[in-house]
Amino acid sequence: MKILFLCSRNQWRSPTAEKVYQNDPRVDVRSAGTSASARCRVSEKLLLWADLVIVMEHAHRQRLRELFPEIVRELRIEVLDIPDDYEFMNPELVALIQERVEPLLEESTREL
């Protein structure tokens, strides 16, 4: 399964999620940001690549709807509800990501 993790600037949360799952044999992962100032900005190509898009906040899902209205209708987008309160690889952030992503992976595995 291909997962795209998104936050605002692709600086702390989504790169942390990508790093946490980069060697997980169950998934192929990438990360990007929804902001114009993002390190790696979300694109149509990235969205079409993904089987599952995981955003950190509801505002990120809304931003995707504004930027890519046609594509978003076809996407599975999940919101983790993780605020921008953590730096890259913060242990609490890692724990939150794992706690919230694992049920999504288990659910997707059952669907296959």
Closest CA relative to residue 103, chosen from 52, 68, 67, 64: 52
> Could you give all domains of the chain from N- to C-terminal order, each with its CATH number?
2-111 (3.40.50.2300)
> Which pLDDT does position 110 carry in this prediction?
72
Q: Walk along the chain (112 residues) in steps of 10 and give the mean pLDDT of each run.
A: 97 98 97 96 97 98 96 95 97 98 87 64
- Count of beta carbons in the 10 Å neighbourhood of residue 78: 16
Q: Which two tokens stand for residue 16?
A: 């942390």
| E strand or H helix that includes residue 29 | strand 28-33
Q: Cα separation of 97 and 17, whole Å?
A: 6
Q: Does the model's pTM come out above 0.75? A: yes
Distance separating the N- and C-terminal Cα atoms of the chain: 10
- Tokens (6 digits) for 21: 């799952």
